[in-house]
Structure 1
Amino acid sequence: MTRLPPRACRPRPSVPVRTTRPPVRGRTTRPPVRYRIITASLLTIAALYFLVPVYWLTVSATKNSADLFGTFGFWFSDDPRPVGHLVDVLTYDHGVYVRWFGNSLLYAGIGAVCATLLSAAAGYALAKFPFRGREAVFNVVLAGVLIPGTALALPLYFLFSAMGLANTYWAVLIPSVVSPFGVYLCRIYAAAAVPDSLLEAARIDGAGEARIFGGLGLRLMTPALVTVFLFQFVHIWNNYFLPLVMLSDSSLYPIQLGLTSWTGYADRQPVLYQFTVGGAFLSVVPLMVLMTGLQRYWRTGLTEGSVKA
């Protein structure tokens, strides 16, 4: 019988030597410097692409018609009353620009709010209520996303003319409350952000479907609703072709159609060039304010911790 050597003399198993430090929890690895430089350069170019036209519009809105064509476009002129030209825009032709501005706010505001609520209700129903033909309805909505709005303008005009609604506010408002993209986005977001277990808990507590939708569904879908509202507001605000087809009374024009009508008379009245530039600058201000004020609602994780695993 062989005797084993003492424990101190036994060979120890080899232990692999760790050559790298374990990653520290909570600390992310920074990308290489060249990637950061490329990313910053691309973002700077994109920012300049979007901000340079706004800067030119801001500078040009402070000039008169002569300085608009006779001075450097990216710097201010020596005009003694730079802000006064914007006042002239608001008071020209008995304040017709103010009326156009109010019309645009009416079309875009009411249309975007109604479109957001209808999209939220339709998307929530398609996501949370199983019924026969649900996928077929959703496919029809997707088909509506692919159809451009200009292709529907002429059929809508014939329809509203037969109903006696052409050349009225309703001719622009009613088509604006329909947003197939909003329905699609709300359906996708409701399926991911509104847990079924949370809805079942509310039903067990005795809440009705309308109360669940108003108290839980709309709150949990806030980021999607803000997105739909902004998209629809900007779309209606910048819409040109539908009001062009539907409206013939200049008092019903939105800003875009009104500024285009000024451009058509600018050859005979050169001052309208400056009024068009100033009006375009004023038309951008509500969009900038809206984007700045509502971007804080674009956050996720609203339901984190609301349902126990």
Structure 2
Amino acid sequence: MAVPATRHDHPPSRRAAESARRAAGRSLRLGFLLACAIFFGLPVTWLLLAATKTQTSIFSDHPLSVGSFGNIAQGWSNLLTFNDGELVGWIWNSLYYAGSSVVIAVFLSVPAGYALAKYDFAGRKALLVLTLIGMIIPTAALVLPLYLQMNALGLLGTPASVILPLAFYPFAVYLCYVYCTTSLPDSLLEAARVDGASEATLFFRIVLPLSKPVIGMIFFFSFVHAWTNFFLPFVMLSDDRTFNLQVGLMMLLQSTDAINAEGGFSALPIHQPEAALAALVAVAPVLVAFVFAQRYLTASDVSGAEKG
């Protein structure tokens, strides 16, 4: 007697085909991620290894070979031969410019973003639109007006001509505005007002503690913005003793044969390995800032702050 066919005869083959498609999808994703890792990781790896080599070995050895770590100390010593160690002064200048602008940016942007998010006042929408416009205007387009402004104030060539424009960071204001709008419930603030909290107490005792994630993000992004800025210090500063690291390294590399074999001064012992080491020195503070701020780069959970 023939056994009638049932609807369960083919599912195993369909499940096998579905598993094969999922496996193929995973393989494609892993392959794409691996290709991206190789494409972006190889230059960084080469930069790290180049600082451990000598001028001769950087061309003769395998690109991914490791040199001597003693060459790093020698390379740093060679960098300090430029203008009697002016590189150290540029590093301190960069830390001063970036640190000062970050403090001012955080001090101004957090209350500004909070006010735009939680208070209804005349001109609120206009200020928000101006903040968005300030975000989309290219920095290079503002350099000439800022130059004229600093010149009119008598600040041209001083640290203030770099710090004050860098502290003007509309993105930080908008970031804080979005955070306060989405992550600080009005009911929590109203409950504090009902309990008798003043607006100052509300801001310092409730808003600031709950805003640590966005403050960490503002710190990180404003520091990166200030540390990596080249065009503004290049235009504002004329004395090489006041240069930040980005502008100073440009002058250093143009004055040696590290990347300028024809116009550089070959008598200085600064070549490609020293240029790689200088690039690592310029990148290192950004990595340190990320390590410091990454604990705050997560969304805060304020749901438990309200009573059920």
Q: TM-score of the superposition, structure 2-length normalised?
A: 0.84
Partner SS for 1:83: helix
CA contact (8 A) 1:62 1:83 kept: no
Which range moves more in the overlay, 281-290 or 250-259? 281-290
Matched, 1:306 2:305: yes
Counterpart of 2:275?
276
Counterpart of 1:131?
121
Letter in 2 for 1:162: A
CA drift at 1:45: 3.1
Partner SS for 1:166: coil
Residues 83-113 of structure 1, C-alpha deviations (whole Å, 9 max, x = no match): 3212332454322111111111111112122
CA drift at 1:204: 2.1
CA contact (8 A) 1:96 1:251 kept: yes
Matched, 1:291 2:290: yes
CA contact (8 A) 1:142 1:180 kept: yes
Letter in 1 for 2:123: G
Counterpart of 1:57?
47
Residues 162-214 of structure 1, C-alpha deviations (whole Å, 9 max, x = no match): 21111110010000111111111111110111111111122222222122112
> Aligned ranges for residues 1-309 of structure 1 at < 5 Å?
32-77=22-67, 81-90=71-80, 92-266=82-256, 267-270=263-266, 271-274=269-272, 275-309=274-308
Q: 1:273 to 1:214 in 2, by over 3 A?
A: farther
Q: CA RMSD in A?
A: 2.2
Structure 1 segments (4+ residues) deviating >6 Å? none
CA contact (8 A) 2:213 2:300 kept: no
Q: 1:54 to 1:188 in 2, by over 3 A?
A: same
Matched residues, number = 280
CA distance in 1, matches of 2:86, 2:116: 44
Q: TM-score of the superposition, structure 1-length normalised?
A: 0.83
- Tell which structure's C-alpha radius of gyration is larger: 1
CA drift at 1:308: 3.0
CA contact (8 A) 1:262 1:276 kept: no
Equivalent pairs: percent with the same residue? Answer: 38
Q: 1:308 to 1:42 in 2, by over 3 A?
A: farther
Residues 283-302 of structure 1, C-alpha deviations (whole Å, 9 max, x = no match): 11111122123212222242
CA distance in 2, matches of 1:181, 1:272: 39
Partner SS for 2:91: helix
CA drift at 1:126: 0.2
Q: 1:119 to 1:41 in 2, by over 3 A?
A: farther
CA contact (8 A) 1:167 1:249 kept: yes
Residues 29-50 of structure 1, C-alpha deviations (whole Å, 9 max, x = no match): xx93333333333333333344
CA drift at 1:79: 8.1
Partner SS for 2:271: helix
Q: Where in structure 2 are there 5+ consecutive unaligned residues?
A: 1-10, 12-20, 257-262
CA drift at 1:136: 1.2
Q: 1:67 to 1:154 in 2, by over 3 A?
A: farther
CA distance in 2, matches of 1:265, 1:215: 53
Residues 228-255 of structure 1, C-alpha deviations (whole Å, 9 max, x = no match): 2111111111111001100001111111
CA contact (8 A) 1:265 1:272 kept: no
CA contact (8 A) 2:54 2:71 kept: no
CA contact (8 A) 1:226 1:294 kept: yes
CA contact (8 A) 1:63 1:85 kept: no
Partner SS for 2:305: coil
CA contact (8 A) 2:82 2:252 kept: no
CA distance in 2, matches of 1:79, 1:225: 38
Counterpart of 2:8?
none
CA drift at 1:128: 0.4
Partner SS for 1:72: coil
CA drift at 1:225: 1.8
Residues 224-283 of structure 1, C-alpha deviations (whole Å, 9 max, x = no match): 221121111111111110011000011111111011001211233243334332211111
CA drift at 1:138: 0.3
CA distance in 2, matches of 1:69, 1:245: 36
Which range moves more in the overlay, 55-64 or 44-53? 44-53
Q: Where in structure 1 are there 5+ consecutive unaligned residues?
A: 1-19, 21-30
Letter in 2 for 1:308: K
